[in-house]
Amino acid sequence: MNSGKIFLKIIMSLFIMSTFLSVHLGEAATGTDNTVPENRNHNANELASAPPPLYEVELTSLSGEIFINPAYTGKINSIRTLNRNELLGEKVEIVTRTLTDNWKKLEIPANLQSAFGLVISGSEGIVKITLPQQNTVSGSGTLKSISELFIEFGSLSATFTFPALNILEPSGFEIGILNTANNTFINGEIIALKNDQAAVLFQSLSSSVVNKDGMIRVSLKKPDGTFVNSDIPAWGYNIMVSETDTGVPAPITAEVFGLPDDTQIKFNFVSLSGQIINPSSITLSVGEINRGSDISTITTKIGGPQPITVTVNRLDN
């Protein structure tokens, strides 16, 4: 029955949202319909025309200078504003300079500082910068997070503030999270930088980055070789699905870390075409989840990798 085997692949709702947004932004920028009929025999030209990846970050202000990591945009082609409904505005002229380390420095004019966000489109990707919906500053030292830290499937997108610096070499900054299992740091990628904050993407984080007290140790290395450290509250989850056959229900289990056992967690699943995920919604305590209780089952009619769309929320007592 090898041909009938399926392998279940978890895809975060964040990633699915990002894919949709990148297509949406491409349509808004060109004024054309980029919808392509489903075709499994894509040729090289079709793949080459796929929209570039979208990276979403938050900064607490859009004033002054913003430094962009060129790995996430390549050559910048256009910059547009966003309003609070996240609708794209017109292209705007922003002075952009390429520094000696190839980072891009954007000098934001005063008339754009009231915008809710900026969309920076380049040859290699799109960086969407927005103001935070709400500031929830946390951290024990001079390095602080502007929002709750939430690790999904090993991925964490966060913005950290620090005492203001004069930035001459943005590539000289490094940031990492301590893995308590082996006492080494897992480095993140800085996507955007201001003189007092860094928007960062971490991937491949294990549950062991969160200690028994629900804290992570974050360390920022400055270009002069000195460090800024902080212990910051964080929590996260992973979802596991075993290999199974088509038409045979497979249990879905999870791991939650960084929260007390009595914390209530709600899972909401969306069944895609050919899938049945039942139940589609369930609330369990962290203790029940980590003891191995099934949170749902999935049955699929289609072989091959199966994306699972799930939203996970912590319920306040």
Q: Is residue 7 part of a domain?
A: no
Taken as a whole, the chain contains a residue count of: 317
CB 193 within 8 A of CB 66: yes
Q: With the C-alpha atoms ordered 126, 131, 65, 165, is the resulting torsion angle positive or negative? A: negative
Is the backbone peptide bond immediately before 251 cis, with ω within 30 degrees of 0? no
Alpha helices in 218-299 (DSSP H): 286-290
Q: pLDDT, tens digit, for every residue of 106-133?
A: 999 988 877 899 999 999 999 999 999 8
The letter for the amino acid at 265 is I
With tokens 């503030």, the residue in question is 161
pLDDT in tens, 161-219: 999 999 999 999 999 999 999 999 999 999 999 999 999 999 999 999 999 999 999 99
The last residue of a domain, from among 99, 130, 161: 130
Same domain, yes or no: 219 and 268: no
Which of the four pLDDT bands, split at 50, 70 and 90, describes residue 7?
Answer: very low
> On the CB side of 254, how many CA atoms lie within 13 Å of its CA?
27
**Do 153 and 215 have their domain in common?**
yes
Does 11 score more than 60 pLDDT?
no
Q: In a 3-state reduction of DSSP, which class is residue 283?
A: strand
Q: Are residues 203 and 260 in the same domain?
A: no
Q: How far apart are CA 306 and CA 277, in angstroms?
A: 12
User: Once rounded to an integer, what is the mean pLDDT over residues 222-243?
Assistant: 93
Single out the residue in 215, 236, 257 at which a domain terminates: 236
Residue 317's pLDDT band (boundaries 50, 70, 90)?
Answer: low
Q: Per the domain annotation, does 72 fall within a domain?
A: yes
Asked whether residue 316 carries a pLDDT value surpassing 90, the answer given is no
What's the Cα-to-Cα distance from 312 to each of 77, 168, 267, 283, 305, rounded to whole Å?
A: 36, 40, 5, 10, 22
159 and 228 housed in the same domain = yes
* pLDDT value for 204: 95
Q: Do residue 116 and residue 20 come from a single domain? A: yes
At 193, which CATH number? 2.60.40.10
Same domain, 171 and 115: no
- Helix (H, G, I), strand (E, B), or coil: what is residue 261? coil
Q: 142: pLDDT confidence band, cut at 50, 70 and 90? A: confident
Q: Which are the contacts of 76, defined by CB distance < 8 A and separation ≥ 6? A: 68, 96, 104, 120, 121, 122
Domain count, the chain: 3
Q: Can you give the pLDDT at residue 19? A: 31
Verify that 156 and 225 share a domain, yes or no. Answer: yes
Predicted confidence band at 3 (pLDDT cuts at 50, 70, 90)?
very low
Band of residue 243 on the pLDDT scale cut at 50, 70, 90: confident
Check if the beta carbon of residue 126 is closer than 8 Å to that of residue 74.
no
Q: Each residue of 289-300: pLDDT tens digit?
A: 999 999 999 999
The pair of structure tokens assigned to 148 is 């709750």
Asked whether residue 251 falls in the same domain as residue 309, the answer is: yes
Supply the range of the domain harboring residue 252: 239-315
Q: Is residue 5 part of a domain?
A: no
Report phi then psi at 292, rounded to 5.
Answer: 100, 10
Residues 258 and 203 in one domain: no
Which range of 22-36, 48-62, 89-103, 295-309 scores highest in mean pLDDT? It is 89-103
119 and 31 housed in the same domain: yes
Among the candidates 130, 153, 186, a domain finishes at: 130
Q: What percent of the chain has pLDDT over 90?
A: 70
6 inside domain: no
pLDDT of residue 1: 34
| Residues 49 and 22 sit within 8 Å (Cβ to Cβ) | no
